[in-house]
Amino acid sequence: MRKPGVEHILSLKCLICGKEYHPDEVEYVCPDHGDEGILDVQYDYECIARRISQGDLLHNTDYSMWRYRPLLPLRADASVPPLLVGWTPLLRANRLAAELGLKHVWIKDDGRQPTGSLKDRASAIAVVKAQEKGAQVITTASTGNAAAALAGLCASVRQRNVIFVPQSAPPAKIAQLLVFGSQVLLVQGSYDDAFELCLLAAREYGWYNRNTAYNPYMTEGKKTVALEICEQMGWQAPDAVFVSVGDGCIIGGLHKGFRDLYHLGWIDHIPRLIGVQAAGSAYLYEAWVNQEDVLTKPPIAAHTVADSISAGLPRDRLKAMAAVRDTKGAFVRVSDDEILAAIPALARGSGVFAEPAGAAAYAGLLKALSDGQVHADERIVVLVTGNGLKDVPNAMRSVEQIGTRAHVVEKTFADVQRVVQQLNLSGASSSV
């Protein structure tokens, strides 16, 4: 028996062959293209426009991603998890902008999500879709944050889940999984290995599969960050958005969100999307520069301090390439040293503490600026995708790298005075 679909979804369209499927006809990917046959949700915008308007949003007090529910792939009767996901702050970073010689810079702080990264937006959708299917177990592979997000969202609704993460994931992220009560498989291999194993297990045991760029609905959750950015800017879309890129699902999600709003006529242009990659994991940057076909380009060996964007074969590479190409954006590449330096630079300039992959977006802005890719009066958003507390060892490295250290004192006031004098902190003369 065919279950009723989601009324405002027209089809799921294969990004390779363009074939369209009814949402109940396929589980995840295009049957003709196997694991590579990523599907894109096609909406009936006329139907959506009857259900939501900019005016409605003005009066909507649901400050979470669910305020955009008519734009999400949910059935009308679906209930959503209780954790508050979305509506993260968009901060105007005037001082930072001035230091860079720019006029308009905002930081979208998705480190403020319940589990500390933007991945909560996708995992929230995964939990709803899994419950729609009556799944006993949800599974995902992850470099850490998608897993932590799934673990937290599942805990909020008592949903069983199995997580595949590389053993090398930062301890804070593994701790989150265990604290939330997930079943954790620490894979003695890379994220790419964990991904393959997770696909096999999901198929074998019939678990609901949340994997990025396999489950077509994850992009739909991630796109809510673009919807929020535009609403928070009074529907004046920014000129450019900087975002770090691993698998490419977030940048694809941003693209989707901006396209949705453009189709609805709520914004008059789509921002340039600037994908920032770590030099040691720059598959998409290389493909873009060398005009390589990402369907045939072989995987690379990925190594970077920014674990969240370490991906030898970016799973959402088709959507990521389209996001950059169609918006006349760019990929930029930053070194691990530049990423680490961006952590305290961003924190000191704005008060936002990012994990390496979050700070990478800011490092990318610095790189693009020095390459003359941005203009002083452009309106620029830097998307910070993950919280600095996710990776304390690399935060410590980032300050060691610039020579910032704590001052150890004996437990005497005399020693405190010694340090205060040494630092020139006594009296009003040193007010900053």
Ligand X SMILES: *Cc1c(COP(=O)(O)O)cnc(C)c1O
The least CB distance from residue 11 to Zn ion, in Å, is 12
For ligand X, which is the closer residue by CB, 8 or 333?
333
As given in the structure block, the two tokens for residue 307 are 């674990």
250: partner contacted, choices ligand X, Zn ion, none (Cβ within 5-8 A by kind): ligand X
For ligand X, which is the closer residue by CB, 28 or 266?
28
Q: Check binding of 213 to Zn ion (CB under 5 A).
A: no
159: partner contacted, choices ligand X, Zn ion, none (Cβ within 5-8 A by kind): none
Residue with tokens 């380009």: 297
- Dist. CA 173–CA 165, nearest whole Å: 10
Which residues contribute to the site for ligand X (CB under 6 A)? 117, 119, 145, 244-250, 308-309, 355, 357-358, 385-386
For ligand X, which is the closer residue by CB, 6 or 395?
395
Beta strands in 320-386, from DSSP E residues, in sequence order: 330-334, 379-384
Q: Which helix (H) or strand (E) holds 41?
A: strand 39-43
As given in the structure block, the two tokens for residue 379 are 């309106």
Q: Check binding of 99 to Zn ion (CB under 5 A).
A: no
123: partner contacted, choices Zn ion, ligand X, none (Cβ within 5-8 A by kind): none
For Zn ion, which is the closer residue by CB, 33 or 160?
33
119: partner contacted, choices ligand X, Zn ion, none (Cβ within 5-8 A by kind): ligand X
14: partner contacted, choices Zn ion, ligand X, none (Cβ within 5-8 A by kind): Zn ion
The least CB distance from residue 25 to Zn ion, in Å, is 13
The least CB distance from residue 351 to ligand X, in Å, is 18
Q: What angle do CA 287, 293, 296 make, to 5 degrees?
A: 110
Other beta carbons within 10 Å of 40 = 19
Residue of 6, 9, 12, 30 that binds Zn ion (CB under 5 A): 30
Q: Which helix (H) or strand (E) holds 166?
A: strand 160-166
Other beta carbons within 10 Å of 46 = 10
Task: Evaluate whether 409 touches 415 at the Cβ level (below 8 Å).
Answer: yes
Size of the site for Zn ion (CB under 5 A): 7
- Dist. CA 74–CA 6, nearest whole Å: 6
15-23, 79-87, 336-344, 410-418 -> range binding Zn ion (CB under 5 A): 15-23
The least CB distance from residue 15 to Zn ion, in Å, is 8
248: partner contacted, choices ligand X, Zn ion, none (Cβ within 5-8 A by kind): ligand X
Other beta carbons within 10 Å of 400 = 11
- Dist. CA 155–CA 164, nearest whole Å: 17
In DSSP terms, which residues pair with 139 in a beta bridge? 162, 209
Other beta carbons within 10 Å of 75 = 14
The least CB distance from residue 267 to ligand X, in Å, is 22
Q: Check binding of 238 to Zn ion (CB under 5 A).
A: no
* Chain contacts with Zn ion (rule: CB under 5 A): 14, 16-17, 30, 32-33, 37
